[in-house]
Amino acid sequence: MYVKSFYQFESNSSRTQEISENKFLEILSNNCKDFIKRPKLLQRSKKDFSGQFSLIDPKLYYRNPLKDDNFGVSTKHHTLLMDNLETWSGFPRRSQSIIGTTNVDQRTLFGRHRYFIIPFDGVKFGVAPSADLWACDAWINIDDWRKRYYTFNTRFSDMMKSFEISDRNYDEMISDLQREYDKWKTKPGVGRALWDLFDILDRKKFQYIEDGLNELLKPSSFRGSDIDSLEGFQVMNYSEIKNLDTWELYEFWTDSKCLVYYAGEIDYEEEILESWDNFLEIYLRNN
């Protein structure tokens, strides 16, 4: 039985609420039966401590992407595209999701505070074909022998910022891009990343920028690194994400409600795995 009124979020609060251990166990028992039957280590790393036991409803608040000029993105352009392009419509909204990895991850870019994510039954995941969204490339065929790739990273942000493309909202972004595309068509040029994208769109006979981006940046166009076996961004349910090989590490995001358990401030993979085993021993194997 799904418990609809298990917990009331405080008004005007964050999307994450700290809860008691007893409430955690109650919600776990009533709402996370798939996880209980087949536990899967889903990890999140943060720079701060936000409670030993928590409940998150990602849809409550808009999530701004982590901005990092050296490693990640410095604008919201990629999030706006993923949230609004038709070819991404089956995915959870990136801007209203919690983000983690499908396996143990000792990287410290996002912080050393480790959390285990326990999704509610009926969860839907967006899964990237690599351990990080920023490492996924959309390969675009220019012609029979040339390809160009675009990555949702700081270079993509810089490409947009160099032409003052708004990231305030989706409509403004598309309007700015269409303006620059129409301007480019009166005097085509190459050598700048956005111009090269326009050149590809023009070669493929796209009149409207939104139609072109919808096709060129569709989820199946993306690839991870040579060691990643997953092809394209994919939508998965709990069973599908559970069936990924234990050695594979992919980024996921979900807008479904989740429980969050604090594993500790940990640096190394073996320590995270030890904390995971302790969690299973205390809360699943003995109950």
Q: What digits encode the pLDDT tens for the residues 69-114?
A: 455 567 999 999 999 999 999 999 999 999 999 999 999 888 999 9
By the 8 A CB rule, do 126 and 216 touch?
no
Q: Is residue 188 part of a domain?
A: yes
pLDDT value of residue 70: 52
Q: pLDDT tens digit string along 211-234?
A: 999 999 999 999 998 888 899 999
Same domain, 120 and 145: no
pLDDT value of residue 72: 52
How many separate domains does the chain show?
2
pLDDT value of residue 7: 45
Maximum separation of any 2 CA atoms in the chain, in Å: 70
How far, in Å, CA of 116 to CA of 191, rounded?
45
Same domain, 151 and 113: no
Q: Is residue 68 part of a domain?
A: yes
Same domain, 261 and 219: no
pLDDT: which is higher, 151 or 21: 21
Residue 266 token pair: 């940990």
Of 223, 241, 271, the residue at which a domain comes to its end is: 223
Q: Is residue 159 part of a domain?
A: yes
Q: Identify the weakest region by mean pLDDT among 24-33, 130-139, 229-238.
A: 130-139
The four Cα atoms 272, 273, 277, 283 give a dihedral, to 10 degrees, of 40
**What value does the mean pLDDT take over residues 168-192?**
94
Q: How far is CA 118 from CA 25, 41, 68, 176, in A?
A: 12, 8, 27, 40
Confidence of residue 34 (pLDDT cuts 50, 70, 90): very high
* pLDDT value at 66 more than 90: no
Cα 172–chain centre separation: 23
Query: What pTM does this model have?
Result: 0.90
Confidence of residue 246 (pLDDT cuts 50, 70, 90): confident
pLDDT value of residue 227: 83
Residue 272 token pair: 């995270």
Same domain, 41 and 140: no
Burial letters 82-101, b for 16+ CB under 10 A, else e? bbbbebbeebbbbbbbbbbb
Same domain, 25 and 125: yes
Same domain, 95 and 150: no
pLDDT value of residue 1: 38
Q: Is residue 174 part of a domain?
A: yes
Give the domain range for residue 88. Answer: 16-133+231-285
**What value does the mean pLDDT take over residues 41-45?**
97
Confidence of residue 60 (pLDDT cuts 50, 70, 90): confident
How far, in Å, CA of 232 to CA of 209, rounded?
22
pLDDT value of residue 155: 86
Same domain, 97 and 236: yes
* pLDDT value at 10 more than 60: no
Same domain, 95 and 212: no
Same domain, 246 and 114: yes
Of 183, 203, 223, the residue at which a domain comes to its end is: 223
* pLDDT value at 235 more than 50: yes
pLDDT value of residue 41: 97
The one-letter amino acid at 228: D
Q: Is residue 5 part of a domain?
A: no
Same domain, 86 and 51: yes
Same domain, 95 and 219: no
Q: Is residue 8 part of a domain?
A: no
Of 223, 245, 276, the residue at which a domain comes to its end is: 223
Same domain, 35 and 111: yes
Query: Rounded to the nearest 5 degrees, what angle is found at the Cα of 253, between the Cα atoms of 129 and 150?
Result: 45
Q: Is residue 7 part of a domain?
A: no
pLDDT value of residue 73: 60
Q: Is residue 9 part of a domain?
A: no
Percentage of residues of the chain with pLDDT beyond 90:
73
